[in-house]
Structure 1
């Protein structure tokens, strides 16, 4: 023991020595070591139960055959007793190195588990056959399976997707594994999977795992962030910035952005309209009925002008942008059809029957701005409003 005490502990470790008797209770633990000579009156099987499976039991003996047949399953090493005095320091140094290696491995595994399981992202490790070697808790939540039912399984089993269904679908999860292996570097993908929570959109990072030689790939590791809700928020924000919240038509602000980007130097027709007696209806029957009229107007616009850009300019004012060089007589026919269909829809409610749409139409050959075109159609609309009762007027430069 004097020699062993002189051996320097491993970095970050200390060691202490205790002489124990048969009656003592030996503590359990990974870094406990029990060293016995072959004269110790102990039952090795019972000793192993006391110290636990992770402790080390070492016997110093020159005649291991006398007890090894019975004790072999419980003994970790045998040190020759005759040469122990000369080999004591060496044997003990190697033992300490082994204990440190095992403790470091346990700590690394513990650090990994704690880290991946506290993250909300799905994490998995796969071999080259596509089998999941290890996954984190978030992955199990997503697939609604226990780790024991995931590890060692392939993508199709885990996500409950028959291979033939997967091959006919737009899923790309398995194919991206091949892409990562070919690229030999970390890659980022947008993927979709059918999880226990429904179809989910994932932002997935995948990277190859290299063997000790630094060249051979032995598997992949993936981290997937569920961006379904984020994508929905983004879509909602984009929709709100582009659409009128009441009617679903393009709003005025986004229309000007759209027109500046898409309609430069094009032959255009713009149709402006407003609803006659709408203000009177709103004041008499309230905004709820007024909103209903506006929704009906938007629906009829989209029904008659399905391929054109319908805009709610504000209040009871609407616009239609036609950018395909359509003949004016065809535009006028569509406007008239809209006016008739709108009036028929509004006549279904006695309170709405006096509402009608007055319309102004202006055309440009591409030599002016969209704002100029809107002004011209507004002038034509003002002329139609003078007559009222659901009229339309074409701007011809003389209004």
Structure 2
């Protein structure tokens, strides 16, 4: 329930008036703060809920009300023996001066009761509006003449009118019907209202209504509204649209048939109750071959080991159709009745072959160097971090010698071709390794696990010979050679950048010592095996 703090401002009143009002106990769900001001100010008026004017008022009441909070109560204290000012009657209450003992408190208590009554009425009205607007069924209240007093949002949606437009209007206007059209049709709304008013009890009816969505079938429940003397003063109605329920099977078949993916419905016994044409097409079936079969048995026999669970928990299956493979994403949804009991399951089979191909292509492109087809620097870090674990790790860092001269002499196209040739040589010599282009003419070979340094040196020497042989046969690349830096660790706490820096140090020593060779970190004298 609500709780409200009323701000009471007295203008010109003496201390006795404030004291008498303070003695009045707040009503339920209310509290009040009382302050006295020597004169009227715009600031104090703008924040008060009750303004008591115990001084001459020079402004018309309507001007004062325009300054006050919306809904504020304005009280004027005056000696009635002197007569009322011309605008005194516009105030919400008149308190007679001089005050007899207890009179101000009495009038103040009545004022609080009136305010509480307004707040309670507004609160109850808001609760009613919130309640009926949260219901998907149509709800309305009418007086005995048939004028609509209150409707909910669902009602407005059905008739295509606003609440303000509906309020106070009758059946023909709201439903856009002419009287002769109503009399010639099958509509019975007005007759059922008369039955409820006459019998003074709740009744249920099946009614047809012409709405903005076309002719609709409603199950309606109508009840009389009584006053305190048990006299009928109106009716309340609730209408549930059952048009779609009556057409559900037909519409379901139409919907299922129009879906761009396969649909299968399993009943509570586990049997296949319905499938659409797309499903039959996917699996090359006739309805008689699948309807009534146990779904789990059919799935095992048809999909078997072709199903897999993706990282996000979804199921996918690969099937053959018309000589090609198709990937189907399978989604399961429970079908429940109004009592939340599971009465079946709905399965959708969606062709995601193209999506998966695009995803794979995007993933490949994001991990691959466009020119050489090797992995790129970003994926190099991702791969090593993911696969290293507690295993030993070895980096073979390769840099082309005289690559800038090839670019400067023969152009960047020749340089690009040299990089492609180098990538092919690396793949040929290390088919079992992870190879990446770090950028420019720098390449990295990553060996995880079994990578004894003696074997690595032997393979590095063989790689250098193959590079020299390949480059020497090409008229544009005969000045090229390769330099290699090697670094290895068995300590999993040594990070990638540290090991990469160590291999780069070894590579620098090769460059400093004449190129076309390899070095191993920590540095030692080494020459290429003969």
User: Which of 447, 460, 468 is residue 322 of structure 1 equivalent to?
Assistant: 447
Asked if 1:385 is matched to 2:511, the reply is yes
What are the within-5 Å matches in structure 2 for residues 326-345 of structure 1?
326-345=451-470
Asked which structure has the greater RCO (Cα within 8 Å, sep 6+), the reply is: 1
- 1:273: how far off? 1.0
Q: Which has the larger radius of gyration?
A: 2
Report the equivalent of 2:325.
199
The 2-side partners of 1:398 and 1:333 are apart by 16
User: CA 1:289/1:154 → structure 2, altered by over 3 Å: closer, same or farther?
Assistant: farther
- Alpha carbons 1:116, 1:136 under 8 Å: kept: yes
Asked if 1:170 is matched to 2:323, the reply is no
- Alpha carbons 1:131, 1:152 under 8 Å: kept: no
The 2-side partners of 1:369 and 1:126 are apart by 54
State the aligned residue count: 287
User: Which of 399, 406, 413 is residue 274 of structure 1 equivalent to?
Assistant: 399
Report the equivalent of 2:288.
152
* Structure with greater strand percent: 2
Asked if 1:111 is matched to 2:251, the reply is yes
Asked if 1:253 is matched to 2:253, the reply is no
- Normalising by structure 2, report the TM-score: 0.45
The 2-side partners of 1:234 and 1:244 are apart by 17
Asked if 1:295 is matched to 2:431, the reply is no
* Residues 238-264 of structure 1: CA deviation (Å, up to 9, x unaligned): 323333233332321222233344446
- 1:104: how far off? 6.5
The 2-side partners of 1:129 and 1:172 are apart by 23
The 1-side partners of 2:314 and 2:452 are apart by 49
Report the equivalent of 1:121.
261
- Normalising by structure 1, report the TM-score: 0.58
User: CA 1:139/1:127 → structure 2, altered by over 3 Å: closer, same or farther?
Assistant: same
- Alpha carbons 2:268, 2:342 under 8 Å: kept: no
User: Which of 192, 206, 211 is residue 11 of structure 1 equivalent to?
Assistant: 206
State the secondary structure of the residue aligned to 1:250: coil
State the secondary structure of the residue aligned to 2:288: coil
The 1-side partners of 2:416 and 2:258 are apart by 49
The 2-side partners of 1:264 and 1:312 are apart by 23
- Alpha carbons 1:188, 1:206 under 8 Å: kept: no
The 2-side partners of 1:380 and 1:14 are apart by 88
- Alpha carbons 2:398, 2:483 under 8 Å: kept: yes
What are the within-5 Å matches in structure 2 for residues 221-236 of structure 1?
221-236=346-361
- 1:380: how far off? 1.5
- Alpha carbons 1:251, 1:312 under 8 Å: kept: yes
The 2-side partners of 1:248 and 1:134 are apart by 49
User: Which of 436, 456, 459 is residue 311 of structure 1 equivalent to?
Assistant: 436
RMSD: 4.3
Asked if 1:361 is matched to 2:482, the reply is no
User: CA 1:281/1:5 → structure 2, altered by over 3 Å: closer, same or farther?
Assistant: closer
- 1:284: how far off? 3.4
State the secondary structure of the residue aligned to 2:435: strand
Structure 2 residue runs without a partner (length 5+): 1-185, 193-203, 211-241, 292-297, 526-530
The 2-side partners of 1:204 and 1:220 are apart by 12
- Alpha carbons 1:269, 1:323 under 8 Å: kept: yes
The 2-side partners of 1:331 and 1:312 are apart by 19
